[in-house]
């Protein structure tokens, strides 16, 4: 029997379980269609594996089958999580969870399905009345004293996708040991008959506006420059939710902060899981901000803000010295926010040596420079905001959190949420713009001033796609080669340190080895040079890619040196790519 025949037999057997099991008629009809179709591509894609409940939850294409997002895969995930919560919190008189969802197709159906399953297991459910941002769900876990929470979202993935993210009682996403232990409980669900779909309405409480008001009220207390906002209350700000959950709450929060001139993009205020005006609803993609930038040009606005579908990531555009809009990258946004927060905390006498910021290891080192030069501790954590949340939890009651961020457009300027938050980030970026204006600067001027004060930095992400099993094998070989034979120089600068987060060892140019203190291992290598450049290398966890994060540093004695520093950095990045054989 060849491999293709074996695979077809396997998927046919799995499909027949769905055809003959306790599944709804519409699902069975679709399974029958796939089985009867002479082209077995759909059948194989739908059943060749089970959609994995990974450390970040579920994410996949919507449809019928074990490898798709549907009420049955969502159901198994929820039943497994419910079982785990009952084990972990057996002494609680009433276990409580929050259930939220974004704008995606089927998100409401999936959230109601999950609410029914939790309640059928005796768990009290606070279900949002309609779509809400991911950070608001995180806030609500803490506000209502819940043990867990989930949100149905695939973040900024294409419209065909949906996802399921699980959170713990601190409001952060699951980390060890809970992430792995929940996965084990989910994997124990072997039959649809083990999933309790019949909900208990008495245990489901609909929530909405009252939580919005509390959340917005908490965010308004973050302001550090209320007088600057008052003097610039009519500053024009264009905001787009890109069809997502920020549509009402972000303009409302900006107004509660004191900004009176919020300009919307009507076509993108349409809540839709089809994302009709964009190819990808991802604020990291310049095209996603096109309509907002055009609106800003037409209205002579000063700042453009965009949030992704579940309102946890932020894209921003500011005017350069020629009056043209340029997009800030994730590192620049995180750096500007860190600079502003640290500076204002210091000016207001709020820094006493017990303050900290958090960044991920692949995010710009300038954040560490800004923090440490101002007497603020900077923690480096793995990629993924759950690690920032974990650091916040570890230091709760001991140190004061100022802010945290990552290069992938996620930032958190408050401690009452434990995930990246586009709602508070948009309002703080607007405050930075108002404060800069009050001080005779634009946001662009401020960016250049930070470079002049703390040193120039340019970051470039490079992804090398290697598809299929052969591609996966090639990525493993590449990582092994970087481990056993790291480059001696990058762009002409000697390598002085290599950190391997799989072995948790750092080796300097003299061969001296020191231990890295991290909560777990990770398949990441970092290379540091004498010029303070940094290369981070890791395989993607979700796509057939190996990712390179290149940061080159430069000297900028004054704002006037920016163009020269920029050009030199571009040349250095090209040289770094050659050193890495990219």
The rounded distance, in Å, linking the Cα atoms of 247 and 228 is 26
The rounded distance, in Å, linking the Cα atoms of 459 and 569 is 9
- The rounded Cα 4 to chain-centroid distance in angstroms is 38
Burial class (CB in 10 A: 0-12, 13-18, 19+), 288: buried
Q: Is 155 a catalytic residue?
A: yes
CA Rg value for the chain? 25
Written as six digits, the tokens of 420 are 């990246």
Query: Are 423 and 133 in contact, with CB atoms under 8 Å apart?
Result: yes
Please report, for residues 188, 337, 354, 386, the alpha-carbon distance to residue 221 in angstroms, rounded to integers and kept in the order given.
Answer: 45, 16, 21, 24
Query: Are 80 and 53 in contact, with CB atoms under 8 Å apart?
Result: yes
DSSP state of 492: T
The rounded distance, in Å, linking the Cα atoms of 72 and 61 is 14
The rounded distance, in Å, linking the Cα atoms of 199 and 116 is 4
Query: Are 389 and 179 in contact, with CB atoms under 8 Å apart?
Result: no
Query: Are 412 and 402 in contact, with CB atoms under 8 Å apart?
Result: no
CA atoms within 13 A of residue 22's CA, in its CB half-sphere: 10
Q: Which region, left, alpha or beta, applies to residue 272 given φ > 0 means left and ψ of -120 to 50 means alpha?
A: beta
Cα dihedral: 122, 123, 127, 133 (round 10): -150
Written as six digits, the tokens of 201 are 């309405």
Burial class (CB in 10 A: 0-12, 13-18, 19+), 281: buried
Alpha-helical (H) ranges within 48-120 are: 71-88, 107-120
Whose tokens are 């009682």? That residue is: 169
Q: Which of 119, 155, 307, 457 is catalytic?
A: 155
Buried b (16+ CB within 10 A) or exposed e, 244-272: bbbbebbbbbbeebbbebbbbbeebbebb
Active site residues: 155
């Amino acid at each position: 029997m060849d491999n293709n025949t074996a695979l077809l037999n396997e998927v046919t057997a799995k499909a027949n379980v769905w055809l003959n099991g306790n599944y709804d008629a519409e699902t069975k009809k679709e399974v029958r269609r796939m089985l009867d179709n002479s082209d077995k591509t759909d059948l194989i894609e739908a059943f060749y594996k089970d959609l994995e409940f990974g450390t970040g939850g579920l994410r996949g294409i919507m449809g019928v089958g074990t490898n798709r997002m549907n009420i049955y895969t969502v159901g198994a995930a929820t039943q497994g999580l419910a079982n785990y919560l009952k084990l972990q919190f057996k002494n609680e008189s009433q276990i409580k969870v929050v259930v939220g969802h974004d704008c995606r197709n089927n998100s409401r159906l999936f959230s109601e399905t999950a609410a029914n399953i939790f309640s059928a297991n005796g768990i009290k459910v606070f279900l949002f009345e309609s779509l809400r941002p991911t950070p608001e769900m995180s806030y609500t876990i803490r506000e209502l004293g819940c043990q867990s929470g989930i949100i149905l979202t695939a973040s900024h993935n294409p419209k065909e996708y949906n996802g399921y993210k699980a959170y713990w009682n601190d409001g952060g996403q699951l980390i060890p040991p809970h992430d792995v232990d929940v996965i084990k409980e989910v994997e124990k669900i072997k039959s649809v008959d083990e999933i309790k779909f019949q909900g208990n309405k008495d245990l489901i409480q609909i929530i909405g506006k009252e939580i919005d008001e509390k959340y917005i009220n908490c965010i308004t207390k973050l302001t550090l420059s209320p007088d600057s906002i008052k003097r610039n209350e009519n500053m024009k700000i264009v905001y787009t939710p890109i069809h997502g959950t920020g549509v009402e709450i972000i303009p409302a929060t900006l107004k509660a902060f004191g900004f009176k001139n919020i300009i919307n993009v009507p076509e993108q205020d349409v809540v839709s899981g089809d994302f009709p005006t964009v190819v990808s609803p991802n604020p990291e993609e310049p095209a996603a901000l096109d309509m907002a930038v055009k609106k800003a040009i037409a209205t002579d606005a000063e700042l453009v803000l965009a949030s992704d579908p579940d309102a946890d990531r932020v894209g921003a555009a500011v005017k350069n010295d020629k009056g043209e809009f340029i997009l800030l990258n994730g590192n620049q946004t995180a750096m500007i926010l860190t600079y502003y927060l640290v500076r204002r905390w210091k000016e207001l006498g709020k820094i006493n040596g017990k303050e900290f910021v958090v960044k991920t290891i692949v995010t710009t080192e300038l954040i560490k420079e800004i923090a440490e030069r101002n007497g603020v501790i900077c923690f480096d954590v793995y990629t993924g905001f759950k690690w920032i949340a974990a650091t916040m939890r570890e230091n709760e009651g001991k140190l004061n959190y100022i802010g945290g961020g990552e290069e992938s457009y996620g930032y958190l300027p408050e401690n009452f949420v434990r995930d990246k938050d586009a709602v508070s980030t948009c309002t703080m970026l607007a405050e930075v713009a108002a404060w800069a204006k009050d001080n005779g600067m634009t946001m662009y001027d401020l960016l250049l001033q930070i470079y002049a004060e703390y040193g120039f930095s340019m970051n470039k992400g490079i992804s090398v796609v290697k598809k299929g099993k052969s591609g996966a094998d090639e990525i493993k070989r590449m990582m092994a080669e970087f481990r056993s034979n790291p480059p001696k120089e990058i762009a002409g600068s000697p390598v002085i340190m290599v950190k391997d987060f799989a072995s948790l060892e750092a080796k300097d140019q003299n061969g001296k080895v020191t231990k890295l203190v991290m909560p777990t291992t990770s398949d990441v290598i970092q290379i540091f040079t004498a010029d303070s450049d940094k290369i981070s290398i890791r395989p993607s966890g979700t796509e057939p890619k190996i990712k390179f994060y290149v940061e080159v540093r430069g000297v900028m004695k004054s704002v006037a040196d920016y163009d020269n520093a920029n050009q030199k950095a571009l040349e250095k990045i090209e040289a770094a790519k050659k050193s890495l054989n990219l």
